[in-house]
Structure formats: structure tokens, C-alpha cells
């Protein structure tokens, strides 16, 4: 049975509350008895999760020295949809997808999960190769959002974008040189926001697969926004447009 690790108070407590059956064992730092630890242990008891009090060195070994705050949970990996087709078939509203073209920083992917959960994204789509997957760091930064937003990996991203177009999903690429603004798009329809990797942005084939390139207007001197920040801005615009029922084409 495949297993994974989740660590840090927020991430572990979120997993205990959202999906307690997936938590196999909780390792907690021996001797720590502050309010946060008591709250966590109470949640574990309610969920009937086995708790082992261990020395900090054991926790360091489990996480490879990552910041764990004294708590590590051995869990089943997040359940993922078998395919993007399965995600889309189950929807009763226009799709909203976040497509990440080769994001390799686990902190950025984790943050993208959080904004995706906040604004109703139906799935995050990423290539199988040359991109970060659901690592323990991603799960920690996601703070439970990796359990609520399906993560779909695909072999050929360009082909996936074409398949989405066939389903009447607009493909919008976020790019500093884009000709349009988020406020100018028909976001009430099915939409997939495509964001590129840190530094290099969208790959050529991915860029060519977009229906349009969209820029986020800024006033600062920094060349580009962090991918998770850019995703949050694009998804917020979509969320508010759909909530208000108004739009432009």
C-alpha cells in the first residue's frame, strides 16, 4: 500500500479533520505538551489514529530534516481522479481548471493548491515529466487543499489543451506580453488558466495551444509575479465574474 508523509500542525490537523481514515500513524514529539499539541492529539484520539511519541531526532529522520514542528503523520496519498475526462464528466457547471506548465518548486505548487481550493478550481493539471508532484513539502504547504482539489498529470500537455478546446473550454495563458486583460475575457464559460514554470514561463507549444495570452497589469519594477500569486489573481477574477453573472466577450 502506497504511503506518504504529511507534517506541520496545520497540514496534519487538516488531514485529521477532512480525511481521518487516510491517517495511518501520527508521530508526535515526546515531551511537548503545549496547546497546539493537545489539540492535535485530541483530534487524533477522536479519529482513532495511533499516536507514537518519539524523540525529535526520529522526526528529523522521517522528514529528511524538513521543518515539521514536532508532528509527522504517515498517510495514504491523496486520492486522485483517474483522468481529466473523469473530472469533467462529473461537473454540473462550466469547468474551471488550473494548468501548470512545468512548475518545479514544491512551495509554489502547494500554494497553487490553496488558491485553487479557495476559488473553486475543479482540478489542477500538470505534465508528468519535468514538474513537481505531490511531495511531502507540497502537501504541507497546501495545508489540506491537496485533498480537496484533484491533481491530474498528463503525458502530453499540448494534446490535453486541444482536447479541452474540443469540450468548449477556453484556454487562457498568463504571460507578461499578453494582449488581453483578465477583465476582458468570457470567463463565465469553461476556462483553463495556464501558467508557466518559475523563470522561463510558458513553453512554446503550450503558448501556441492557448486561445489567447493574458497579462496581469502591475506597477512595480519586478519582471514577473510568483506563479501562485498570478494564479490567485486570475482565479479570483474568474470567481468574481461567475459570482456576479456579468461578463464581456
Strands 96-101 and 170-174: unpaired
- What order do you get walking across the sheet with 23-29 strand by strand? 4-7, 71-75, 23-29, 50-54
Residue 227 has phi, psi (to 5 degrees) of -60, -35
Residues ≥6 apart with Cβ < 8 Å to 221 = none
DSSP per-residue codes, 63-101:
HTT---TTEEEEEPPPP--S-HHHHHHT-SS--EEEEEE
Q: 44 and 71 in contact (C-beta within 8 Å)?
A: no
Nearest-10 Cα torsion for 97, 99, 104, 109: -10
Q: Is 216 annotated in some ligand binding site?
A: yes
Q: CA-to-CA distance for 201 and 176, rounded, in angstroms?
A: 9
Q: 96 and 171 in contact (C-beta within 8 Å)?
A: no
Q: Is 187 annotated in some ligand binding site?
A: no
| Integer CA distances (angstroms), 233 to 105, 204, 227, 229, in order | 19, 23, 10, 6
Q: Look-up: residue for cell 498528463?
A: 154
Q: Is 109 annotated in some ligand binding site?
A: no
Give the annotated binding-site residues for S-adenosyl-L-methionine: 196, 216, 225
Give the annotated binding-site residues: 196, 216, 225
Amino acid at each position: 500500500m502506497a504511503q506518504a508523509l504529511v507534517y506541520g500542525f496545520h497540514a496534519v490537523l487538516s488531514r485529521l479533520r477532512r480525511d481521518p481514515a487516510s491517517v495511518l500513524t501520527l508521530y508526535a514529539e515526546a515531551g511537548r505538551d503545549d496547546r497546539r499539541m493537545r489539540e492535535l492529539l485530541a483530534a487524533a484520539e477522536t479519529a482513532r489514529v495511533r499516536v507514537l511519541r518519539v524523540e525529535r531526532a526520529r522526526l528529523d529522520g522521517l522528514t529528511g530534516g524538513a521543518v515539521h514542528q514536532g508532528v509527522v503523520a504517515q498517510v495514504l496519498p491523496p486520492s486522485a481522479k483517474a483522468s481529466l475526462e473523469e473530472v469533467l464528466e462529473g461537473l454540473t457547471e462550466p469547468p474551471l481548471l488550473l494548468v501548470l506548465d512545468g512548475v518545479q518548486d514544491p512551495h509554489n505548487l502547494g500554494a497553487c493548491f490553496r488558491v485553487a481550493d479557495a476559488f473553486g478550481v475543479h482540478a489542477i493539471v500538470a505534465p508528468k515529466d519535468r514538474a513537481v508532484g505531490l511531495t511531502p513539502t507540497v502537501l504541507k504547504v497546501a495545508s489540506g487543499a491537496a485533498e480537496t482539489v484533484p491533481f491530474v498529470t498528463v503525458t502530453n500537455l499540448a494534446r490535453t489543451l486541444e482536447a479541452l478546446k474540443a469540450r468548449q473550454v477556453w484556454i487562457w495563458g498568463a504571460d507578461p506580453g499578453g494582449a488581453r486583460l483578465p477583465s476582458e475575457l468570457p470567463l463565465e464559460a469553461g476556462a483553463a488558466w495556464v501558467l508557466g514554470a518559475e523563470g522561463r514561463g510558458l513553453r512554446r507549444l503550450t503558448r501556441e495551444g492557448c486561445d489567447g495570452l493574458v497579462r496581469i497589469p502591475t506597477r512595480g519594477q519586478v519582471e514577473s509575479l510568483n506563479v501562485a500569486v498570478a494564479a490567485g489573481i486570475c482565479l479570483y477574477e474568474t470567481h468574481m465574474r461567475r459570482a456576479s453573472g456579468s461578463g464581456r466577450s
